[in-house]
Chain A
Amino acid sequence: MNEHTPHEHTPKGWRRWLLSTNHKDIGSMYLIFSIIGGIAGLIFSIVIRMQLAHPGGTVLGGNHQLYNVFITSHALIMIFFAVMPGLIGGFGNWFVPLLIGAPDMAFPRLNNISFWLMIPALIMAGLSTVVGMGAGTGWTMYPPLSSLTGHPDMAVDFLLFSLHLAGVSSILGSLNFITTIINMRAPGMDFFKMPLFVWTILVTSALLLITLPVLAGGITMLITDRNFGTTFFDPSGGGDPVLFQHLFWFFGHPEVYVIILPAFGIISQIISTFSKKPVFGYVSMVYAILSIGVIGCGVWAHHMFTVGLSPSATVYFSAATMVIAVPTGIKVFSWLATMWGGSIRFDTPMLFATGFILLFTLGGLTGVVLSNGGMNIVLHDTYYVVGHFHYVLSMGAVFGLFGGFYYWISKICGRQYPEIWGRIHFWMLFIGVNMIFIPMHFVGYNGMPRRIPDYPQAFAPMNYIASIGAYLTAFSTLIFLGVALYTVFRGKKAQSNPWGVGATTLEWTLPSPPPYHTFETPPHIGGDLHEHK
């Protein structure tokens, strides 16, 4: 490498991307990857809504395994190949170093392999849908459905190896983030001066490091059960399928916090910027993030209330789950208090942030309903659950993604998005997703089971509304793609800080787009960052 002039060294052509060790380039690749993943996941969901638009839907030609495959792929692609690469890989890589005044990530080459592992992972996930009967296990992959009994051909193996690769990628990425945040903060950037987005990435990375190895262990057992005759989850050899559920949800539940925490971080930055006030209760926000992370690791069996937990275990898991509503409530009230009395500008990022607060809180409320072990027995595996987790993930995490996109795109590409189209995108998406998911609560409450490709006539009107909402959402996504392409290639040149006095974090001190290498000489952080002048 060019040791003498590292500052000017900017590789050109394909080498710049394939061999990239630059956090900004890798972040950009993650963002593009996330958009591609999101489109794939969206297409799956649109087909699902087409099938469910009318009772007796025939879109999939009566092939119900295919429906299972679509359900599975929709979930896995959205989680592992859209939301995580976008929030953590994309915005995390781009802005964690900028926000703490570091020149790059701690391990730039590790960062490169983290990204490039995602490509074979996505390819394998794609193969799992077309090989043999396809992997129709749901994202939870419970045996015996995911064992040879349920899926005798290679599809599930592809899926499991895909998750292994995505998991290794995330673990390496997390090692990188934690080391960067611990060791590379600019002088004066104490832990309690770090912007909240950095805090959320730190806690998310820690959660990934703790839980992903457990998932990796669980799916490795599944792979050996399927291919090498072990019987970890097979009762005929003394195994127990419920053990898989414990291992899976020990990962799976913290995973939802992995997804939502970075969105919390982005929302905090946006609310503060557009209210022109520091985040209300910064320290309690940090402790809320930490306690969500800690408690989130001890509530996994609330996904398993129907496996026959003892009454005391049910009580514990119900109560512990409800406790999470406390730090989450602290965050919601702090956001509201940040806005209170602020001089608020409702630009697109702020629309997404306020939309996030409203819809995430609704999803949180249905979550408290579901956390009750007694209620859960009734609502388990109904569309009520589907409605709940889409409110927190599809409207929570995805609104965080879009909010982050509109907030930071001018910094990333040096061009500003067209404000009016951003707002049109927001309102169409907002109406669309609510049309999809509000009716799901009603049909779910009345007993419509999830993961079933048909339903009785009584549920027809609500399902029809949901499907129309899905088409509207798809249309809004086309608008988003138009906005994104227009911004990147034709958008108005952006100033270094388009948001004015509210934007106090370090990235806005840099030109847009920032030079290839930034903060080679660390900036000095004086005073308290969170006290706006």
Chain B
Amino acid sequence: MREDHKNVLVLLTCGVVLMASLAYASVPIYRIFCQKTGYGGTPTLGKMNTGVVINNRIIKVKFNSDVAPHLPWEFEPLQSYIHLKAGENGLAFYRVRNNSNEPVSGIATYNVTPDKAGIYFNKVQCFCFIEQTLDPGKWVEMPVQFFIDPELAKDSNLKDVTSITLSYTFFPTKTAKSARHNIQIHSIGDKNV
């Protein structure tokens, strides 16, 4: 192979490998990006409440719950909404119940709507941080502790925000083996409906 051909080929191949690695690197980068910026309604975690309360900024926080179709759980918030001042600590409860006759594990994902409020919605303590395993027929009440960053009052983009919806979806904990299996059973079930 001509030397100059080889040089160009090596250089370009490095570029291809670099871009392919960037595609994979984008997975953690994107996650960190969402957490840092509240992108896509990702709430902020692990921030301490400074204790500053903005008395004239009251937000209605609504609670929503969903369960993935193939998880035999019942999942609901115990209050449909609360009113909260920006900077004030909030506490809410959800109840989840395993309706099947075998122990099932699940984990909840969460986000807030509107998306742009994500960066100001701080979760202090949440059941969604850990996997939950429920025995058949058992139920459990789970707390979520949060506050709304008082900085929200200063952001002109959020002037129109009077309510924020906190939403959870419970999914069965995924294992490699069960993935295709679960879905197939589910889709057969669909055809009968």
Contacts and interface: CB of A to CB of B under 8 A. Distances in A.
Given A148-B179, A183-B5, A231-B174, A175 B12 contact: yes
B180 A218 contact: no
Contact of B27 (A214, A232, A308, A311): A232
A232 B19 CA distance: 18
B13 interface: yes
Interface string B7-31: 0110011011111101110110011
A240 B171 contact: no
Contacts of B8: 106, 178-179, 182-183
A210 B178 CA distance: 36
Q: State the majority secondary structure of interface residues on A.
A: helix
Contacts of B177: 229
Contacts of B173: 236
B22 A214 contact: yes
A234 B174 contact: yes
Interface in A181-213: 182-183, 209-213
Given A240-B30, A308-B41, A235 B171 contact: yes
A152 interface: yes
B34 interface: yes
B101 interface: no
B5 A107 contact: yes
A238 B111 CA distance: 12
A209 B20 contact: no
A191 to B, nearest CB: 14
A174 B11 CA distance: 13
Task: Say what secondary structure dominates the interface of chain B.
Answer: helix
A-side interface size class: 35 or more
Contacts of B31: 238, 240
Contact of A175 (B2, B9, B107, B179): B9
A455 to B, nearest CB: 26
Contacts of A214: 19-20, 22-23, 26
Contact of B40 (A179, A182, A217, A242): A242
Nearest to A227: B180
A285 B136 CA distance: 70
Contact of A148 (B12, B169, B175, B180): B180
Point out which of B5, B17, B178 has the most chain A C-beta atoms below 10 A from its C-beta: B5
Interface in B88-125: 107, 109, 115-116
Given A106-B5, A183-B2, A229 B175 contact: yes
B184 interface: yes
Contacts of B169: 235
10 closest Cβ contacts across the A-B interface? Answer: A217-B23, A236-B171, A229-B176, A213-B20, A213-B19, A308-B115, A148-B183, A214-B23, A179-B8, A229-B179
A517 interface: no
A233 to B, nearest CB: 10
A247 interface: yes
Given A148-B183, A240-B34, A217 B20 contact: yes
A308 B23 CA distance: 22
Contacts of B115: 308, 310
Given A106-B5, A235-B169, A152 B12 contact: no
A243 B173 CA distance: 21
A246 B4 contact: no
Contacts of A231: 174
Given A178-B12, A235-B109, A237-B171, 19 more contacts: A106-B2, A106-B8, A107-B9, A175-B9, A175-B13, A179-B5, A212-B19, A213-B18, A213-B20, A214-B20, A214-B26, A217-B26, A221-B27, A227-B180, A229-B178, A237-B174, A240-B31, A240-B34, A310-B37
A236 B19 contact: no
B24 A217 contact: yes
A308 B117 CA distance: 12
21 contacts: A152-B187, A175-B12, A178-B12, A179-B12, A182-B4, A183-B8, A209-B15, A210-B19, A213-B16, A213-B23, A226-B180, A229-B174, A229-B175, A229-B177, A240-B34, A243-B26, A246-B26, A246-B30, A307-B40, A308-B40, A310-B39
A489 interface: no
B172 interface: yes
Contacts of A237: 171, 174
B68 interface: yes
Interface in A232-273: 232, 234-238, 240, 242-243, 246-247
B52 to A, nearest CB: 25
Contacts of B27: 221, 232, 243
Interface in B146-175: 157, 169, 171-175
B54 to A, nearest CB: 22
A236 B24 contact: no
A246 B30 CA distance: 10
Nearest to B6: A179
A236 B12 CA distance: 38
Contacts of A175: 9, 12-13, 16
A224 B23 CA distance: 14
Given A209-B19, A240-B31, A247-B26, A152 B5 contact: no
B174 A236 contact: yes
B7 to A, nearest CB: 9
A456 to B, nearest CB: 27
A483 interface: no
Contact of B116 (A213, A235, A310): A310
A243 B29 CA distance: 10
A236 B68 contact: yes
A121 interface: no
A171 interface: yes
The listed residue with most A CB atoms (<10 A of its CB), out of B4, B23, B115, is B23
Contacts of B68: 236
A228 interface: yes
A216 B26 CA distance: 13
Contacts of A5: none
Interface string A135-159: 0000000000000110010000000
B113 to A, nearest CB: 9
